[in-house]
Chains A and B, each alone.
Chain A
Amino acid sequence: MPDVPPTSAGKWRTALARFVTVIPHTRELGLEVLSVDPPEVTMRLPWRDELLGDTGRGLVHGGVLTMLLDTVCGSAVLCGLPSPEVCPTLDLRVDHYRPAVAGQPIMAEARVLRVTNAMVFTEGTLWQEPGRPIARGIGNFVRLGERNTPVGFAEALFGELDHA
């Protein structure tokens, strides 16, 4: 198990909810953080018609699933490190198990499997109905280290909400 910072799950939920709200793409799509149990994160993407790939059959665009896995795995990385660092995605592999259908939210769960000096290894799963995964992802993230993480990055995550 990787070390996790001594921060409560509730604080992490608030911090990652802020994280996905600061990212313009996920803010626009209304991505929600349901729970955080470091180094595991669960999110929910509400339904909206922009997520469609195949309008004729009412299927979700495969790229939405890749984007969601990148986001949820990247969020797990933040809470899986001793202190939050900026960690770009090195590579991501997505297996499509079954199509995701229109009209239902998409659930996303990811966890950190291993942290080394250079890397963070993660995996994530998406589903609409429990027990029926629609896609699985393996994402590897590069640790840029504290030196390359902007001063105030952790404070920005955990700071008080402006409108609180």
Chain B
Amino acid sequence: MPEGFHDVAWLARTRAEGDVAAWLERLPYARHIGVSASPDGAGDGLVFHLEPREHNVGNILLPALHGGVVAAFMETAGTLDLMLSAREPRLPRIVDFSIDYLRTARVVPTHARCRLLREGRRLANVQVTAWQESEDQPVATARLHLVLGALEPNDA
């Protein structure tokens, strides 16, 4: 199998290097909506970014970003943040996802920061906050439950 999430050595190496860009390259939908990540200036984690692309718009009257695109951005952020901060390199699979919309997401750059609230042997709980101009005025909060899968092909 070529380099990718199911190549244990590749996953361990990109994780050690903090190469989240290599992970994003292998997530076409995240690329389609314009997700990127950069080191958090205020800590040792990451801040994720969503570009205000024209095709991310969901409401042309306001205009505003598509709420589902904001959700997809936050889900991507939560998953990749967990892959980086988990105790060992593992491939999480999402179990469920919940999002609260707090403010209209305008068509400007959107950012997200994640908190790993629990990392058990099999399950993780990740909280994600997204904001635009000001972090103390979030546009949405979300949380994900993920199964920390073994690195082997799985059933459908």
Q: Which residues of the partner chain A approach B4 to less than 8 Å between Cβ atoms? A: 54-56
In this assembly, does A10 line the interface, its C-beta being within 8 Å of a C-beta of chain B?
Answer: no
Chain B interface (Cβ < 8 Å from any Cβ of A) = 1-2, 4-7, 26-33, 54-61, 66-69, 71-73, 75-76, 79, 93-101, 104, 153, 156
Task: Apart from A57-B5, A98-B156, list 16 A-B contacts with CB within 8 A.
Answer: A23-B66, A25-B68, A50-B28, A51-B28, A53-B30, A57-B6, A63-B71, A63-B75, A66-B72, A69-B68, A86-B61, A90-B101, A91-B98, A92-B98, A93-B98, A94-B98
Other-chain residue from A70, A95, A101, A150 in contact with B68 (beta carbon distance below 8 A): A70
- Select which of B28, B67, B95, B101 is within 8 A of A49 by beta carbon: B28
Contact A56 B5, beta carbon cutoff 8 Å:
yes
Give the chain A neighbours of B31 by CB distance below 8 A.
50
Chain B residues within an 8 Å CB radius of A61: 27-30, 72, 76
Q: Are A53 and B27 in contact (CB under 8 A)?
A: yes
Contacts of B71 in A (CB 8 A): 63, 66-67, 70, 92
Query: Which 10 A-B pairs rank lowest in CB-CB distance, beginning with the nearest?
Result: A63-B72, A67-B68, A56-B4, A61-B29, A70-B68, A52-B28, A28-B55, A66-B71, A24-B57, A50-B32
Q: Are A89 and B56 in contact (CB under 8 A)?
A: no
CB distance B58 to A23 under 8 Å?
yes
> Cα distance A100–B73 when bound, in Å?
18
